[in-house]
């Protein structure tokens, strides 16, 4: 993890204004005047797979926007098991709870090499006082988190294991033209869907055998959206007897 610090606030601002994914990020519609209010340099951070952005309970001094890569938010339960409560990607904001001065609620672990912009909480707050632009974006982020959580809850935690996996793959491939998506490890998949590692493995193995998914690389899969949708609808064709719920 090598912070790529830019030591000049003005440069930082200029950088934000030129950001390739600016339309997606928190500062999307700030004006040049707004940027003048950012007093600290914006840090750019790069992380490799498996590294940790922050841990649950850490003091929250910044929020992060995902510029690229994939991150999972992990929550440990009292019995030692863990659940993955969210997966974040380009344009998403990580650690929003920092704005509420609450310790981070999860462990944020990198799934695919990722880069972030680090936004100190103090800057966000100051900026919000001076400019109404940020509020709109923050609202949108919060909204997205919540509606994603709802989707998650309603689709990824009910039905048969096959259906959950199908939902997950389609979720991971959403608005991805190539129909290619990140394929989580089996343990993570279990933690995402509330199923066991073995069940996750069995389902993925079956999907592979039937050609519903094809590996592009160890953690990238091409998916057959139609077939997966059929699974979700409870397609009788998939060897087992009629299943629907």
Interacting residue ranges for DNA, rule: CB under 7 A: 160-162, 185-187, 194-199, 201-202, 204-206, 208-209, 218, 240-241, 243-245
129 touching its own copies, by CB under 8 A: yes
Q: Give the chain's length.
A: 245
143 lies in the site for its own copies, by CB under 8 A? yes
Least Cβ distance, residue 1 to its own copies (angstroms): 25
CA distances 147 to 83, 144, 151, Å, are: 19, 5, 6
Which listed residue (44, 58, 97, 112) binds its own copies by CB under 8 A?
Answer: 97
Q: Which residue in 24, 32, 216, 8 sits closest to 137, CA to CA?
A: 24
Q: Which of 96, 168, 204, 228 binds its own copies (CB under 8 A)?
A: 96
The pair of three-digit structure tokens given for residue 217, joined into one six-digit string: 């690389």
Verify binding: residue 55, its own copies, rule CB under 8 A. no
CA 103 vs. chain centroid, Å, equals: 19
Which residue in the set 36, 48, 142, 240 belongs to the binding site for its own copies (CB under 8 A)?
Answer: 142
Region label for 80, one of left (φ > 0), alpha (ψ between -120 and 50) or beta (otherwise)? left
- Bridge-based pairing of strands 220-223 and 213-217 is antiparallel
Contact residue for its own copies among 9, 28, 105, 230 (CB under 8 A):
105
Q: How many CB atoms lie within 10 A of CB 174?
A: 10
Interacting residues with its own copies between 185 and 204 (CB under 8 A): 194
Residues near 186 by beta carbon (within 8 Å), at least 6 away in sequence? 197, 198, 200, 201, 204
Query: Could you tell which of its own copies, DNA, none binds residue 77, using a CB distance below 5 to 8 A set by kind?
Result: its own copies
The sign of the torsion formed by the CA atoms of 11, 13, 16, 18 equals negative
Partner that binds at residue 218, options DNA, its own copies, none, CB closer than 5 to 8 Å by kind: DNA
The option from its own copies, DNA, none interacting with 208 (CB < 5 to 8 A, set by class) reads DNA
The whole-angstrom separation of Cα 199 and Cα 159 is: 14
**Minimal distance in Å, beta carbon 198 to DNA?**
4
161 binds, among DNA, its own copies, none (CB under 5 to 8 A by kind): DNA
Binding to its own copies by residue 153, rule CB under 8 A? yes
Are 104 and 54 in contact by the 8 Å Cβ rule? The answer is yes
What is the binding site for its own copies (CB under 8 A)?
75, 77-79, 81, 83, 85-86, 96-97, 99-100, 102, 105-106, 128-129, 132, 135, 138-140, 142-143, 145-147, 149-150, 152-155, 157-158, 194, 232-234, 244-245
């Amino acid at each position: 993890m090598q912070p790529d610090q830019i030591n000049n606030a003005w440069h930082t601002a200029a950088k934000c204004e030129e950001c390739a994914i600016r339309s997606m990020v928190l500062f999307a519609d700030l004006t040049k005047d707004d940027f003048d209010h950012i007093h600290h340099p914006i840090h750019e951070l790069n992380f490799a797979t498996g590294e940790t952005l922050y841990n649950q309970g850490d003091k929250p001094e910044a929020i992060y926007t995902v510029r690229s890569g994939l991150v999972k938010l992990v929550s440990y339960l009292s019995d030692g098991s863990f659940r993955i409560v969210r997966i974040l990607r380009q344009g998403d904001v990580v650690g929003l709870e920092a704005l509420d001065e609450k310790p981070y609620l999860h462990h944020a672990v990198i799934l695919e090499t990722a880069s972030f912009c680090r936004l100190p909480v103090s800057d966000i707050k100051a900026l919000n006082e001076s400019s109404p632009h940020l509020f709109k974006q923050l609202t949108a982020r919060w909204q997205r988190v919540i509606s994603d959580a709802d989707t998650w809850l309603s689709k990824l935690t009910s039905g048969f294991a096959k259906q959950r996996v199908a939902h997950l793959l389609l979720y991971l491939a959403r608005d991805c033209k190539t129909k290619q998506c990140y394929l989580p490890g089996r343990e993570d998949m279990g933690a995402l869907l509330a199923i066991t590692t073995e069940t996750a493995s069995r389902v993925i193995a079956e999907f592979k055998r039937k050609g519903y998914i094809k590996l592009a690389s160890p953690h990238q899969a091409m998916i057959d959206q139609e077939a997966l949708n059929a699974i979700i609808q409870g397609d009788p064709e998939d060897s087992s007897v009629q299943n629907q719920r």
